[in-house]
Structure 1
Amino acid sequence: MNRKANLNIWLSFWVLAVVLAGPAAAVTHYVSPGQSIQAAIDAAANGDEIEVAPGTYNEPINFNGKGVRLYSSGGADVTTIDGTGHYHVVQCVSNEGADTVLEGFTITDGNANGAYPDYYGGGMYNNGSSPTVSNCTFVGNSAYTASVNQAKGGGMYNYNSSPMVTNCTFSGNTAEGGGGMYNDHSSPTVTNCTFSGNTAEGGG
């Protein structure tokens, strides 16, 4: 048997092995206090899950287009993502879809007070993205700027986005427009959510 025939046989077995193996199995990443949620997102592949232990995580996060499920093991009452005054606590701005999931967190201390587009969405900023958000509490976020009267969406701002928002609470958020949530060219599906104590100078 010549070398070419041997090579063809080897390639056939290699292709068969790849086909039988199928896609890589999803991985669960674990994050504990003192570790970085963003680092786990960066390390994850589409289809992976990220489980976050109870605690407060002082960092803003960006899903960066990843189709991953980010969830807390203990729920929003004991698991907080604190934006520490950054413009947005959570960002979905890379065409994220329903397979990008944020579940079971308190989202707080986002302060959208920068230049465009950083005066939108103190708690969560969705642009051209439609993630799934469930069992979250958005509290104590703001969207204000001294230079222009356009800051909107203290709790959440959606532009050209259709997120699914379920079993969430928006409370004590403030903005120039849309204290709890502001929707611009967007059609979110909001189910069983509570809006209370949000304030806005221009309504909403």
Structure 2
Amino acid sequence: MISHWRLDGDATDSQSSYDGVVYGDPVWIPSSQAKIGSGAIYMDGEDYIAIDANDYPALTGSFTIDAWVKTVGNNENQIIISKGQSSWRLGIEGQSNKIFFSCNGLSGTSYLPGSTSLIDGIWYHVAGVYDQLEQKMYIYLDGFLDNEANSLGTINPNTYDIWIGGDPEQPEPGYWWEGYIDNVRLYNHALSVSEIFYRERYHVDAKTGNDNNDGLKRQTAFETIQHAIEAADDGDIILVWPGIYNGPINFQQKAITIKSTADAAIIESPGDYGVLFYFGEQADSILENFIIKDSVVGISISGSSPTLRNLTVVGNDYGIDVWGYSFPQIESCILWDNEYSDIFTEAFPPNVTYSCIERTYEGEGNISVDPLFADPNNEDFHLQSQIGRYLPDQSNAPKPKPENWVIDEYHSPCIDAGPADVNPMQESMPNGGRVNIGAYGCTPFASKSPWPLKADVNFNGQVLTEDLYRFIENWIFTEPQ
């Protein structure tokens, strides 16, 4: 990403230093009316934001533009963001209210209209992509392909500034924006279809956060998970920093992902539920990489089918309760030392796979054997490892510290016990070529295991000259039989 103008009360570029200058008298609207973050901008057809292009990277090859917009009924052609008609523009056709994307200088198609008319008064995510390698132009609307065409070559450069809300090459009525714009972004590469739909990332930090913050980075994190859920929209991700968070946590029917970042966070709710799925949540409501403990019920599910992944559910009265017409997906979890039950189901058994469950539960890859936590009495649920276990400290560092790895006498059976089709490379090396189960699986804080390379003599996950030296040393000093 080159630039990200959040438009939360000003035209600051939060990604780089290409801040915009506001002209006219636009209205900065509050978070309650914005789509993302703490605000957006309303332009009345006589306002624009100019970004000095003197030092701005020339976008003549692959690039992506995207933004959130809401139209208000203007029947003229309107520009969302532009480098001028002779270069590139993203806008809306007045009569049809369809997105258009133009890249002057390309052979084949250089002007691409969308196929869907926008409805006034509704927020849409719009994006234009030129992929020079694939020789294609694309328009996306709310993450779905709206049109595409064959295009090749190089986009014309020019000397005009970049304008949000107008065309610097045609500063005249008929191109000014009238309506709402939020979160404009520019990339110097073509985003893939899986990347194109914007997902906000909210941060939560129990130690330094405040629910009056915007939550958009760790330095301005929220304090509570529930406040982040209230701020989030479908498709957003909530990143929770290490700490202890009080439940109950209610997903509120939102298709969001809530996951620990850095070392796993703890959710506990003495005398109450830890996490609730009660409003028809489906598989795109995802909870992962948490320790859930000391609650009446760790996770309670009713009439919902969420995804639960890499959780350690320990020391509750009941681990996971499943009620009514519910079909949750439970994968790579540890359920241990829950007093009355690990998984209770009223009717339909949930799909549980590659999990360690104290009371044996049928499912592919499931085991029922002591997970060998490091120090559960002191809330350290890392898995014991003879190759390397992370010893947590109070720094809450985003990455493991090299000096914090220790060696254990025993080796947990939950290491490398996850599904074989999940990429293990998020785990620190050596990682055994397979993910761990439990709260630390699929993270850099996962306990280590020998890498399955025959020539990796020192088990560091790499085959280097050090392995050759170690082999020669062992061979020379091995007594003949």
TM-score of the aligned structures, taking structure 2 as reference length: 0.33
Tell me how many residue pairs correspond in the alignment.
Answer: 166
Is residue 265 of structure 2 the alignment partner of residue 79 of structure 1?
yes
In the alignment, which of 135, 151, 164 is matched to residue 310 of structure 2? 135
Deviation at 1:42, TM superposition (A): 1.0
Structure 1: how far apart are the matches of 2:94 and 2:350?
Answer: 48
User: 1:158 maps to which residue?
Assistant: 322
User: 1:70 maps to which residue?
Assistant: 258
Structure 2: how far apart are the matches of 1:197 and 1:9?
Answer: 66
Question: Which has the larger Rg?
Answer: 2
TM-score of the aligned structures, taking structure 1 as reference length: 0.74
CA RMSD, aligned part only? 2.4
Is residue 300 of structure 2 the alignment partner of residue 107 of structure 1?
no
Deviation at 1:16, TM superposition (A): 2.2
Aligned-partner residue type, residue 161 of structure 1: S
User: 2:358 maps to which residue?
Assistant: 196
In the alignment, which of 93, 96, 116 is matched to residue 281 of structure 2? 96
Deviation at 1:57, TM superposition (A): 1.2
Q: Which has the higher contact order (CA 8 A, sep 6+)?
A: 1
Please, which runs of 5 or more residues in structure 1 have no aligned partner?
A: 1-6, 112-121, 143-153, 199-204
User: 1:180 maps to which residue?
Assistant: 342
Is residue 239 of structure 2 the alignment partner of residue 51 of structure 1?
yes
Partners of 2:290 and 2:310 within 8 A in 1? yes
User: 1:31 maps to which residue?
Assistant: 204
Greater shift in the superposed pair: 39-48 or 17-26 = 17-26
Deviation at 1:8, TM superposition (A): 4.2
Deviation at 1:20, TM superposition (A): 7.9
Q: Percent identity?
A: 32
User: 1:171 maps to which residue?
Assistant: 336
Deviation at 1:84, TM superposition (A): 3.0
Return the structure number with greater helix share. 1
Is residue 178 of structure 2 the alignment partner of residue 13 of structure 1?
no
Q: Alpha-carbon deviations, 1:15-46, whole Å to 9, x = none? A: 22457822272101111124100110111000
Q: Alpha-carbon deviations, 1:71-116, whole Å to 9, x = none? A: 11135xx410111322x100001000000000000011212xxxxx
- Secondary structure at the aligned position of 1:174 is classed as coil
Aligned-partner residue type, residue 29 of structure 1: Y
Aligned-partner residue type, residue 265 of structure 2: T
Please, which runs of 5 or more residues in structure 2 have no aligned partner?
A: 1-73, 78-91, 100-117, 119-123, 127-140, 143-196, 208-222, 361-481
Partners of 2:247 and 2:275 within 8 A in 1? no
